[in-house]
Amino acid sequence: MLKTTIIGASGYTGAELAFMVNKHPELTLAGLYVSANSVDAGKNIAQLHGKLTGVIDMPVSPLINPEQVAQASDVVFLATAHEVSHDLAP
């Protein structure tokens, strides 16, 4: 199983990715992240997206150390604006 992380998980694309990763037989959802100053940080993903109620019970964490998150993951999806993705991707 590949440990999969989603950065930008509070948006629609991030939520859909979380749903697909959760259903995928080869992937495990390792973490959900938003920007450190996001009002959604600390909330459960199901609070933000009702579709995930009873499906995913995981908090959306503030992204403090992107390098540490990447090292702990096999796969990282960036569901962020292209400028943010550009800055985060190596």
Alpha helices (H) in the chain, listed in sequence order: 12-23, 45-48, 66-71, 82-88
- Residue numbers in the chain where pLDDT is lower than 70: none
| Span 45-62, pLDDT tens digits | 999 999 999 999 999 999
The pair of structure tokens assigned to 2 is 């590949």
Whole-number pLDDT of residue 90: 77
Domain boundaries, the chain: 7-61
- Look at the pTM and tell me if it is higher than 0.85: yes
Whole-number pLDDT of residue 60: 98
Is there a contact between 40 and 7 (Cβ–Cβ < 8 Å)? no
